[in-house]
C-alpha cells in the first residue's frame, strides 16, 4: 500500500486558549495543546517511518470550499476575529491570532488528503491536523473545532470527483455531532460514531438518532459506557461497524480518528491501547478492500502527549501495511487493566445497535 501523510508545523501553532474563564479557575491552558500531535510527527520522523510515506502538502481551504458546509457569515466572523487577535468560535472553541489561517490550513490538508487518494496517486492518507473538526457546525465552532475538516473533505470528493457513497467511521471518544448534522438527511453519506455515552456533546449521540428523511438509517451512534476497552471496541466493529459499512458499499471511507479513547487520555474515560487503534484500522482497511474504496484518516482529538503518538504510529503502520519496528512502551501496562474484556453492560449496548441494523436491513 502507498500511504500519504499531511503534516504542517503550523498545526502546532494553533492556540486553543484557556481551559476555563471561570473567576475561581486559576488560568490553565486548554487540554488541546500541540504536543500530542507534534510528538506523533516527531516519532514518525525519528523512527524513519516518514521515509516510507508519501508527503502531501497542506494548503489553505478556499472560501468556496469552506462554504460548501459553513455559512459565509461564520467564515467571515472567524477571519475577522483572527485578524484582531483571536476569540471564541463557539462553545469551547477558542483560537488565537492567525487562528483562521491555521484552521483553514487544517481543512485544506484534509481536502488534499482526499484529493490524493481519489485521484489514485496513493492508496490511503493520514491528515495529521490541528485544530480538529468533528464538533464544528455550519455556523459555529464547538469543542476545540473551528472548521468541519471531515465534512469539507467529503464535499470535495462529491463536488470534484462525483463520489456518491461515502462512509465515515468516527472513533474519537466524543460524539461526531458536526459530521452527523451535516449528513443527517443524506443517504449518500453513512455516518457512524463510536463514543463515550453522554460525554460531549452530552445531548447528542444517542442510539435512537438514526437520521431523518432520505437519511433515515444512514446515521449510527454507538454510545459506549465509560470504561470500555479493547474488547468492547472490537466487538462494536465486528457486530456493528463492519456489517454497516459493508452493507453500504462505500466508494470512499473517511476515519475521524481521535486517540482520546486511549487508556491514559486526560479527557476520555476509556481503556483503548495502541493495539485497539491498530485493530480498528485493520477492520476498516479490510472492509474497504472489498469495494476498492480508498481511506482518508483525519486527525480529531487525543490529548495524551505520551501515548497518542504510539496510537497514531499503530494506525499509520496498519494503513501502510508495514511495521516501523518501534515497540509501544506502554501497551503492556494498559492491555492488562481490569475491564479490557467486553463487559455485559457494554455488550448490551452493542447488541442493541446490531439489532437495529438487522431491523433496518
> Is 33 exposed, middle or buried (CB count within 10 Å of its CB: 0-12, 13-18, 19+)?
middle
The enclosing H or E element of 182 equals: helix 177-182
Q: Per rule CB under 5 A, is residue 258 in the interface with Zn ion?
A: yes
**Among candidate residues 186, 159, 174, 153, the one with its CA nearest the CA of residue 254:** 153
Q: Per rule CB under 5 A, is residue 205 in the interface with Zn ion?
A: no
Q: Per rule CB under 5 A, is residue 174 in the interface with Zn ion?
A: yes
**CB-facing half-sphere around the CA of 39: CA atoms within 13 A:** 14
Q: Per rule CB under 5 A, is residue 260 in the interface with Zn ion?
A: yes
From 67-75, 213-221, 257-265, 303-311, span contacting Zn ion (CB under 5 A): 257-265
The strand pair at 252-257 and 295-299 is best described as parallel
Kindly report each contact of residues 26-30 with a partner whose C-beta sits within 8 Å and lies 24 or more positions away, as own/partner: 30/92, 30/94, 30/144
The nearer residue to Zn ion, 75 or 106, going by C-beta atoms, is 106
Q: Per rule CB under 5 A, is residue 176 in the interface with Zn ion?
A: no
The interface with Zn ion within residues 294-333 (CB under 5 A) comprises: 301
How far apart are CB 93 and Zn ion at their closest, in Å?
13
The nearer residue to Zn ion, 8 or 172, going by C-beta atoms, is 172
Q: Exactly one of 32, 123, 172, 180 binds Zn ion (CB under 5 A); which one?
A: 172
Phi-psi label, residue 45: left if phi above 0, alpha if psi -120 to 50, beta otherwise:
alpha
The nearer residue to Zn ion, 31 or 360, going by C-beta atoms, is 31
The nearer residue to Zn ion, 140 or 174, going by C-beta atoms, is 174
Q: Per rule CB under 5 A, is residue 285 in the interface with Zn ion?
A: no
Q: CB–CB of 131/92 below 8 Å?
A: no
Catalytic residue among 135, 156, 174, 230: 135
Residue 249: active-site member: no
What residues make contact with Zn ion under the rule CB under 5 A?
Answer: 172, 174, 258, 260, 301
Instruction: Please list the active-site residues.
Output: 135
Amino acid at each position: 500500500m502507498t500511504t500519504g501523510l499531511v503534516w504542517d508545523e503550523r498545526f502546532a501553532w494553533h492556540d486553543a486558549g484557556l481551559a476555563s474563564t471561570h473567576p475561581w479557575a486559576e488560568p490553565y491552558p486548554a487540554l488541546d495543546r500541540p504536543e500530542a500531535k507534534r510528538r506523533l510527527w516527531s516519532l514518525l520522523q525519528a523512527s524513519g517511518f516518514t521515509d516510507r510515506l508519501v508527503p502531501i502538502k497542506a494548503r489553505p481551504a478556499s472560501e468556496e470550499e469552506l462554504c460548501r458546509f459553513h455559512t459565509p457569515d461564520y467564515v467571515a466572523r472567524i477571519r475577522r476575529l483572527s485578524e484582531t487577535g483571536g476569540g471564541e468560535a463557539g462553545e469551547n472553541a477558542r483560537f488565537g491570532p492567525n487562528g483562521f489561517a491555521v484552521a483553514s490550513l487544517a481543512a485544506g490538508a484534509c481536502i488534499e488528503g482526499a484529493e490524493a487518494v481519489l485521484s489514485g496517486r496513493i492508496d490511503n492518507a493520514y491528515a495529521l491536523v490541528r485544530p480538529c473538526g468533528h464538533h464544528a457546525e455550519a455556523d459555529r465552532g464547538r469543542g476545540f473545532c473551528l472548521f468541519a475538516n471531515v465534512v469539507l473533505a467529503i464535499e470535495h470528493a462529491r463536488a470534484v470527483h462525483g463520489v456518491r457513497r461515502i462512509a465515515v467511521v468516527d472513533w474519537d471518544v466524543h460524539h461526531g455531532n458536526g459530521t452527523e448534522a451535516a449528513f443527517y438527511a443524506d443517504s449518500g453519506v453513512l455516518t457512524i460514531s463510536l463514543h463515550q455515552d453522554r460525554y460531549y456533546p452530552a445531548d447528542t449521540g444517542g442510539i435512537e438518532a438514526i437520521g431523518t428523511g432520505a437519511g433515515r438509517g444512514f446515521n449510527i451512534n454507538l454510545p459506549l459506557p465509560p470504561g470500555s476497552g479493547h474488547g468492547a471496541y472490537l466487538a462494536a466493529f465486528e457486530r456493528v461497524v463492519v456489517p454497516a459499512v459493508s452493507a453500504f458499499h462505500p466508494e470512499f471511507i473517511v476515519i475521524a480518528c481521535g486517540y482520546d479513547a486511549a487508556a491514559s487520555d486526560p479527557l476520555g474515560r476509556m481503556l483503548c491501547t495502541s493495539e485497539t487503534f491498530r485493530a480498528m484500522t485493520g477492520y476498516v482497511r479490510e472492509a474497504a478492500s472489498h469495494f476498492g474504496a480508498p481511506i482518508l484518516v483525519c486527525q480529531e482529538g487525543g490529548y495524551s502527549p505520551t501515548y497518542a503518538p504510539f496510537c497514531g504510529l499503530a494506525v499509520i503502520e496498519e494503513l501502510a501495511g508495514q511495521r516501523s519496528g518501534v515497540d509501544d512502551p506502554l501497551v503492556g501496562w494498559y492491555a492488562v487493566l481490569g475491564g479490557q474484556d467486553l463487559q455485559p453492560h457494554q455488550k448490551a449496548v452493542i447488541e442493541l445497535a446490531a439489532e437495529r441494523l438487522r431491523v433496518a436491513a
